[in-house]
Structures are given as structure tokens and as C-alpha cells.
Amino acid sequence: MKRLTYIFTALLLLTSCNSEIQQLTGTYSYKASGEASIENVSTSLDDEIGTLEVIPINKKDSFRLIFNQVGGPVYTTVGLLYNEGKKLDLKKFERSINASAINYSVQVTGDGDILDGIIMLKLNYFGQSSAGIDIKCDNVLMVAKKND
């Protein structure tokens, strides 16, 4: 009987890990906005909307995020779940952004919280334009709501 209890407990723990990834998997609609510092002058970033696809890489804690910006590029990164599936970290990736009518190539880092079908990402952008103008954004918020 004890052996059966141990087996049941192990299966329950494995199932709960799988369900965190399974619950996160799907298509989301997102909006991102924030402030940027360009040559030490503060300006607003252009708002960004689009769809976000979350695809599991393994059954435990890794997943791929595919961002499809409306009227813009598609970019992707890898995420890692922790804290019982309530938090995530993003692997650094590159993308382009627009601010003050200038295009910038930036490195993106970030982390986030997961709560009832909503992913809230706190992103940091660091990079420069083709003309060598530096940009720093350390307060970009992206909110993604799971589509039904």
C-alpha cells in the first residue's frame, strides 16, 4: 500500500509540472508600451500590439515565445518557468524597435509574472540606431492575455 501511495504522489507531482507548461501554452494578444532614454532625453516608445504564441520545448519548464507584431516583424526567444509556474525569465534576444521615428537594433532581456491567463513581461532594451544613436529602455511593460 505504501508503494502505491509513493507512485501516486510521484505521478501527481509530474502531472502538476506538466500542467504549468500546458496551461501556459497557447495564443495570446499583447500590447507593449514604455519610455526610452535616447541620448539622455526621455521619450515614449511607439505602442506595439500583436499576437504571442507560447509553445512548450519540454514538459518541465522551457518554452518558445513567438511574437508577431501587427504591421511589423516576427521575433522569437526562449523562456524558463520557475516559482511553481508563476514567474518566467526570458533568454536575451535581438529585435528592432521604433522611437522618435528612428529604427533601433536592440538587445532585449526580461522577466515576468503569470496570472490567470495573463503574462506580464517587464522588458529592458539596450542598443543603437544605424547612425550610432544610443537607446536604453528599462521600463517596458508587455501585457499578454490568452485568447479563448
Q: 1: pLDDT confidence band, cut at 50, 70 and 90?
A: low
Q: How far is CA 51 from the centre of its chain?
A: 12
Please tell me whether residue 30 adopts helix, strand or coil conformation. Answer: strand
pTM score of the predicted model: 0.82
* Cα(139)–Cα(148) distance, integer angstroms: 29
Residue 8 confidence (pLDDT)? 42
Which comes out higher in pLDDT, residue 78 or 85?
78
Q: 22: pLDDT confidence band, cut at 50, 70 and 90?
A: confident
Average pLDDT over residues 116-137: 94
| Residue-level length of the chain | 148
Residue 72, beta-bridge partner list? none
Residue 100 confidence (pLDDT)? 82
Q: 139: pLDDT confidence band, cut at 50, 70 and 90?
A: confident
One-letter identity of residue 107:
Q
Q: Tens digit of pLDDT for each residue in 27-63?
A: 999 999 999 999 889 988 889 999 999 999 988 899 9
End-to-end CA distance of the chain: 42
Residue 19 confidence (pLDDT)? 74
